[in-house]
Amino acid sequence: MERSILAGKDLSEDAQLAMWKNFIQKVSEFARKCYKTRDLIGMLSIGEDEEELEIPDIDLFRPENVGNVDSCEMIDMEKLLAILDVNSLTEDAVSANVLRKNNDSYGVGLWLLPSFINHSCCPNSRRLHVGDYLIVHASKDLKAGEEITFAYLDPLSPLSKRREMSMTWGIQCKCKRCRFENEVFTKQEIKEIEIGLERGMDVGGVVYKLEEHMKRLKVRGKEKAYLRASFWSAYCEAYRSDRSMKRWGRRIPAMDAVVDSVVDVVGGDHRLLKIMVEELKKNGGGGSGLVGMEKALKLARDVYGKVVKKQAMKTLVEFCVGD
């Protein structure tokens, strides 16, 4: 890992270059000193011909593996730079949470096993950064044999934005959600909703219109959740606006129902948790408040992992939501 102190909200270009240079030197030194590290780094993608890459044997990552001690061949710098460009992970990614005392630094690192995790617009795992450690945990229930995936780009954004962001990664996502949205976003009704949102149409009206169109198009289940996730910014703004809720509240779905359906397809996300806890605080305690807190804690475990004890999780949720 390498970190740099944030002088303001963003890291300056010079600071980024200095951090990247130090990071490359660190990785290069580790690879030179440790055969196992060198061998594992050499297996990582350089962003070309990824379909031909073989899935490595998990035994190679176990502590008892010491690497190929008979080979003195090192990774050339050009290949190393390509590997780091494709596989390095930053702490500020959409699929990551960071636990530390302050937020005045920015980090980038290379964690070998998580580097093999592919992207999905319906991810099922997240990363938790604690110091130099990275913990990968499920963000929703997993089936036996199911591939573990991260969101490389924001899953709570529409298809057009995700495609734009995916160009940075050099990927063309063909998941079920992208295939469905590719078809439905060509329909005139959905295009009109997108245009209305861009032109400042009342967000409550946007949500109402989308829900009505989904009824007419007979969009149900996960497909309905895909579109709710894509238009999450409108739902979120509507639920937070007293004015919108006064006008549209009885005509649009309840917030917790929408959150549940979105979590079902994109997994735990701190933004979904935040609005759920905000709603709890707004409505006060009581019996329904206790039920709501249990739901919030369940979602918090999807966001931060299940290793945190219940009381500590409550404190963590309050701290992170208030952040």
Q: What is the pLDDT of residue 320?
A: 58
**Amino acid making up residue 115:** S
Question: What is the pLDDT, as a whole number, of residue 8?
Answer: 55
> What would the pLDDT profile of 77-131 be if each residue is shown by its tens digit?
999 999 999 899 988 888 888 876 556 777 899 999 898 898 999 999 999 888 8
The HSE-up count of residue 46 (CA atoms within 13 Å, CB side) is 12
| Per-residue buried b or exposed e for 232-264, using 16+ beta carbons within 10 Å of the residue's own CB | bbbbbbbbebeebeebbeeebeebbebbebbbb
- Rounded-to-integer distance, Cα 110 and Cα 34, Å: 15
The pLDDT, as a whole number, for residue 196 is 85
**What's the rounded Cα separation, in Å, for the pair 246 and 180?**
33
Which own/partner contact pairs does 96-101 have at CB distance under 8 Å and 24+ positions apart? 96/126, 96/127, 96/128, 96/129, 97/126, 97/127, 97/128, 97/129, 97/270, 97/303, 97/304, 97/320, 98/128, 98/129, 99/128, 99/129, 99/130, 99/304, 100/129, 100/130, 100/131
| Closest C-alpha among 123, 99, 131 to residue 269 | 123
Extract the residue ranges of the chain whose pLDDT is less than 70.
6-10, 100-103, 284-290, 307-310, 316-323
The pLDDT assigned to 307 comes to: 63
pLDDT, residue 242, reads: 93
- Where are the chain's structural domains? 13-116, 155-267, 268-322
What's the maximum distance between 2 C-alpha atoms anywhere in the chain?
73
